[in-house]
A and B are shown apart, each in its own frame.
Chain A
């Protein structure tokens, strides 16, 4: 896969049509210095030239801006004499420079500083390289202190691409390859935005255990950092067009995923679900407290009420804008979750990287039938998990049909059960859908939810059902579970009850079964501990396409996990 590819030999549909790629496709293929090349050819490649500016240069610009802002009066006086409030008697370094005729030296010094900064930027860009081999993704960076990070492909837990607002203006994107282990991700910041999606696809295809050449999509040429500038290509208008197209382009490339697998959130539902949150309850409580204080003549209550309301409203705003243009879709390399309006971000989780799924519904959402889906995934640092970062909420709000589709995508190969009906029954009547429930005596410990607390175990999946105010169902693939514990305290012993907990990698979900009878707990413990072993032995998802490649011989493109292999049962 080191040979230079011929564009004509490629399947046309592999050239993902986005603005940058199209202009590349129109280039004459046989030019001697053909800048097109694959980023996954095992050679070292450079990043986006604006990288140093975007990573550290913003601070430099900010300092420059600060200095200029402080000299504003003087500059105003210089250009528009008499307009500013500049007092010539103020003594500052500039006056000193002026009076002693050092103006030339000063300009020279500024020039030298600028040159040094630019040279440093240039060198740091030259030294910051990455490569993708059959084994790993590697990044080298640093001028004086060199760092070298390497992510083994078969340990990849997910690849996310984010495009914050400012880098987006430069056509740059940040790609993060997270691997197993806390905070052990390899960051490629910043790539050319137009390369990022293809690079991710290629990395994940390599990670799946299928060689790109076998796949038929290698070597998919992407536009290298050298860029493509045609002879009669007015560069500026081209760049502007590209940026505008990028901002207007749909968040999810329509050719990247089958449309029936795509889940979106209608904007009214998004706004409604945010307003029907605990923030509103908090505002109402605050308002009541404030009215009471006002009636009692405490006008100062406004001083804390107004800021709190502003805070909560801005929280609503960020929640809504973050989830705007949300989409989740099954792509050949895994589940892709994307969202964001100005700063976009999307994660791709390869098959078998989801360690726990939790479906939850607060009491406020119940009349509308809205649910939220969260996941635990590896490669998240403890701080990120505690701070709610790391995009663990895969479906901010959705109906049960959406939930079933998302769970199907996430756990595809684990279970082929009729998920929607199963979930529906598990929520409404867990006793008759294969759930083993807590006994009646559990009402002393769990007076409201005991009727709905229980577990089910089938198809390599452990399900916990619990909660009344927050109705929750945890779906835990046994093949990913780390360990399983049953515990009992003195009060539980008196009532002949116990509780169970499944341990997974760190994340927002703590999978517990708060009460269960002792006999059932023993049964559950035995079944789960045997199930983990059996499921792990049968699991090969670290190279998820390898077996398929061996068994079928031809793989083009990679059949996505169960959801698409079985469209009748999979998608409704």
Chain B
């Protein structure tokens, strides 16, 4: 079920040609090949600080260190051997993840439009969200210990929906605060009833 090079992309009207309705809307333009990725490049996308790559890598390194320590503790206390395999698998996964970190961080972007905020992230699994400013209920600034050492902060947007899930990491602290103040102001001016 992999690629099928020549997709006919036939209009749906074939399935029921005798439609009583006057204007069946065009389903898909057969001439234009649909893009592989949905194209959201329009507009002024802002990226997070490149320094966040280092923060992320340090986080991964700390995690790897914890795993190694746990494996050693297991080896000393229980005199087992299987944990080395688990450890190796986890370390490999972390390493692969780390290799993609720069691209992953570069894929995080946000865009401040007239009335809403766009947020996107991911290379393999991409996701783009639009949140109107009026729907933001709360904006948190979090600073982890490593991120703080690099002068970075994380903005978290809370809406009435748990699944909006917008976290914007790796912003320089001044930018994060300015952004928060700006968003609070625009959210207030566009506030609507829930």
Binding site for B on A (CB under 8 A): 154-155, 157, 180, 352, 378, 382, 429, 431-434, 436-437, 439-441, 444, 451, 479-480, 482-490, 493-494, 496, 498, 501, 503-506, 510, 517-522, 525, 528-529, 532-533, 536-537, 539-543
Contact = CB atoms under 8 A, between A and B. Distances in A.
Contacts of A180: 160, 194
B185 interface: no
Contacts of B130: 483-485, 525, 528-529, 532
B128 A525 contact: yes
**B8, B21, B163 pick with most chain A CB within 10 angstroms:** B163
B128 A539 contact: no
A498 B38 contact: yes
A180 B125 CA distance: 33
B192 A542 contact: yes
Contact of A517 (B28, B160, B194): B28
Interface of B: 1-4, 7-10, 12-13, 15-16, 19, 21, 24-25, 27-28, 32-40, 114-116, 118, 122, 124-132, 134-135, 159-164, 166, 190, 192-194
Nearest to B117: A483
B193 A154 contact: yes
A546 B122 CA distance: 45
B31 to A, nearest CB: 12
B125 A487 contact: yes
Given A439-B9, A489-B125, A494-B36, 17 more contacts: A155-B194, A180-B194, A429-B16, A429-B19, A437-B12, A439-B7, A441-B4, A451-B15, A482-B160, A503-B159, A518-B39, A519-B35, A525-B38, A525-B128, A529-B130, A533-B132, A542-B192
Contact of B127 (A441, A485, A522): A485
Given A155-B194, A517-B34, A536-B132, A431 B164 contact: no
Contacts of B32: 519
B3 A483 contact: no
B193 A483 contact: no
A482 B39 contact: no
A541 B194 CA distance: 9
A358 B99 CA distance: 43
A432 B21 contact: yes
B36 to A, nearest CB: 5
Closest 4 CB pairs of A and B: A542-B193, A529-B130, A503-B161, A482-B161
Contacts of A378: 160, 194
Contacts of A522: 38-40
B36 A493 contact: yes
Contact of B12 (A154, A451, A506): A451
Contacts of B160: 180, 378, 482, 505
Given A432-B21, A436-B25, A483-B129, A501 B163 contact: yes
B161 A536 contact: no
Contact of B128 (A480, A487, A493, A494): A487
A378 B12 CA distance: 38
Contacts of B129: 483-485, 503
Contact of B7 (A432, A441, A542): A441
A426 B10 CA distance: 20
Given A482-B159, A539-B193, A542-B193, A518 B35 contact: yes
Contact of B1 (A444, A519, A543): A444
B161 A440 contact: no
A157 to B, nearest CB: 8
B7 A440 contact: yes
Nearest to A534: B115
A147 B114 CA distance: 43
A433 B19 CA distance: 10
Contact of B35 (A352, A382, A496, A505): A496
B81 to A, nearest CB: 36
A539 B194 contact: no
A97 B161 CA distance: 63
B38 A488 contact: yes
Contacts of B28: 439, 517, 519-520
B6 to A, nearest CB: 11
A436 B27 CA distance: 6
A483 B125 contact: no
A493 to B, nearest CB: 5
Nearest to B24: A432
Contacts of B24: 431-432
Contacts of B193: 154-155, 352, 539-543
26 contacts: A352-B193, A378-B194, A429-B19, A431-B13, A432-B13, A432-B21, A439-B9, A439-B34, A440-B8, A440-B9, A441-B9, A451-B15, A482-B159, A486-B38, A490-B124, A503-B159, A518-B37, A518-B38, A518-B39, A519-B32, A520-B28, A536-B132, A536-B192, A539-B193, A542-B192, A542-B194
B68 to A, nearest CB: 31
B14 to A, nearest CB: 10
A493 B192 contact: no
Contacts of A503: 129, 159, 161, 163-164
Contacts of B21: 432-433
Nearest to A539: B192
A484 B134 CA distance: 14
Contacts of A489: 124-125
Contacts of B19: 429, 432
**B24, B115, B132, B162 pick with most chain A CB within 10 angstroms:** B132
A532 B116 contact: yes
A482 B134 CA distance: 9
Contacts of A498: 38
**B9, B12, B194 pick with most chain A CB within 10 angstroms:** B194
Contacts of B8: 440
Contacts of A541: 193
B18 to A, nearest CB: 10
B124 to A, nearest CB: 5
Contact of B34 (A437, A483, A496, A536): A496
Contact of B36 (A482, A485, A496): A496
Nearest to B157: A483
Contacts of A528: 130
B80 to A, nearest CB: 36
A540 B192 CA distance: 8
Contact of A431 (B27, B166, B192): B27
A536 B164 CA distance: 17
B136 to A, nearest CB: 9
Contacts of A485: 127-130, 164
A182 to B, nearest CB: 9
